[in-house]
Amino acid sequence: MDNQLGALTTIFTEVYYWITVVFMFLIHVGFCMYEVGASRRKNMLHTLMKNTMVIPLVTVTFYLFGWHIYFAWPNGPGFVGGFIDTPHASPFSPLMAATLNSGGDGYWSHINGVFWAAFLLFSWTAASIVSGAVIERIRSGAFWFLAVVIGSFTWIVDAAWGWHPDGWMVQVLGYHDAYASGVIHAVAGGFALGILCVLGPRIGKFGADGTPRNIVPPNPWLVTVGLFLIYTGFWGFYAACNVPIIDMGEAAGMEGSFWTTTNVYLTPTTTSAITFNFLMSLSGGLMMGYLVSRGDAFWTYSSGLGGIIAASAGNDLYHPIQAMFVAAIAVPVFYGMHSWVEHTFKIDDAVGAVAVHGYAGFFGLVISGVMLWGYPASLFYDATISPWGQFAGAMIMFWGLGFIPGFIVSKLLNAMGLLRIPERVEIAGLDLSEYHDRYLGESEVNAAEEDEARARGLI
């Protein structure tokens, strides 16, 4: 920080990530509104609190061990090496607090907190994706424990493996997932499916013959605003997946500097490229979603989101029209999968989270392996992107780090009687159970107001 250009580069990067965090906060606001809008009146406060408390719990645990995992586990450990020393990411490090200088240039003093926060907001997103699927019957305590497992452990393990310039999946499989089709969405979708298999459907969801009933979101306006806020926050999500300014000239073997924006793998892209592709994949998803769902608002909006998610793995490199078609093709795949799984396995995914995030993310990874076949996956390793590398990556994300941990932890919680709300309480309504004083107060105030109005001769 001893010259103006170096200081500008560092502090621009610091402010850049800080702004992405503010944008990404809107994802969480959106998820809260969306899930409350999809909950019946008797469960709205329970849903809201369930999602709200993800914020402190995942934040604290991501500080204590999540950030450390990202930098310590890229080798597996055990796949291509051991644990990596992480002097800036351990909770004992001064760099995990207010410092002025580090390594002589102060770079990590300025970057560590905002970079941590950007990844933390990805963690909240992963937990919130799961949250929507399990509404109206999961115990809050069980969900919050599961939120820590996905938010501060399994997703960040997959980020270390497949979303780090030195991750073993990048080195060995040529795994490429620029905007997190797999490392956020497929893993969270798989995790949600694992929980749902143990948790079971809401009472009344399926008829005696197994036919699913449509529990319509009671507040479509809140769902709409929530999904628009998720779209808005997604801008920050995309920006946060990039390194805004870096000199990659030396690493590329050039003489002299080459300043550019890169993706998380430190290979070049531009903010313009991802802006083209973000909007075109959103458009492809919305257009196809409208057709496939015959204009159903809930699925049209969700398909816009699913379209972006499907194109995200390759949206650093796709042509915008390719991004649009990848998104559009993904919609009937995840929409059909949702319906098939619901009918066949009696899985009650309340908001279609497994479809929009899990199946769309899985599909996006596989299709990017075809679209980007032969592209270099890394600046530092020889691995190239391939269909089989991406398919293997999708399997690791959805099943290995998603479904299996979600299923096992849910089984354990269920065995301890901590997973599901008692059936009588579920029927009565979760808000009545937890907040019955509020309802009683509301009734008393109503009665008192009526008495007073009569006393004044107003009614």
Partner 1 sequence: MSTGLETWNTNLFEVVELYPFVGSEYVLAFCGLGAWLIWHYLQIRMENKALAEEDALFQDKAKLAAARKLSNAETVAETAKAHVNGL
Kindly state the smallest distance separating residue 429's Cβ from partner 1, in Å.
3
Q: Which is nearer to partner 1, 330 or 419 (CB)?
A: 419
- Which of 6, 81, 82, 422 binds partner 1 (CB under 8 A)? It is 422
- Which of 8, 22, 427, 453 binds partner 1 (CB under 8 A)? It is 427
The β-bridge partners of 269 are: 261
15 lines the binding site for partner 1 (CB under 8 A) = no
Q: Spell out the residues 6+ positions from residue 438 whose beta carbon is closer than 8 angstroms to its own.
A: none
Burial 397-430 (b: 16+ CB within 10 A, else e): bbbbbbbebbbebbeebbeeeebbbeeeebeebb
C-beta separation of 182 from 368 below 8 A: no
Residues numbered 194 to 253 that lie near partner 1 (CB under 8 A) are: none
Q: Spell out the residues 6+ positions from residue 314 whose beta carbon is closer than 8 angstroms to its own.
A: 176, 178, 323, 326, 364, 367, 368, 371, 372
**What single-letter DSSP state applies at residue 40?**
-
Could you tell me which stretch among 135-143, 156-164, 255-263, 374-382 binds partner 1 (CB under 8 A)? 135-143
The order of strands in the sheet holding 259-262 is 243-247, 259-262, 268-269
- Which of 24, 28, 32, 40 binds partner 1 (CB under 8 A)? It is 40
- Which of 144, 153, 231, 235 binds partner 1 (CB under 8 A)? It is 144
Query: Using alpha carbons only, how large is the chain's radius of gyration in Å?
Result: 23
Encoded one letter per residue, x for contact with partner 1 by CB under 8 A and - for no contact, window 50-79 reads: -------x--xx-xx---------------
Q: 10 Å Cβ neighbour count for 168?
A: 21
Kindly state the smallest distance separating residue 43's Cβ from partner 1, in Å.
8
Kindly state the smallest distance separating residue 261's Cβ from partner 1, in Å.
29
Kindly state the smallest distance separating residue 335's Cβ from partner 1, in Å.
30
- Which of 6, 91, 204, 295 binds partner 1 (CB under 8 A)? It is 91
Q: Which is nearer to partner 1, 61 or 312 (CB)?
A: 61
- Distance separating alpha carbons of residues 309 and 21, to the nearest angstrom: 19
Judge residue 52's burial from the number of C-beta atoms within 10 Å of its C-beta, 0-12 exposed, 13-18 middle, 19 or more buried: exposed
Residues within the interface to partner 1 (CB under 8 A): 2, 40-42, 57, 60-61, 63-64, 91-94, 97-102, 104, 139-141, 144-145, 418, 421-422, 424-425, 427-429, 431-434, 439-440, 442-443, 446-447
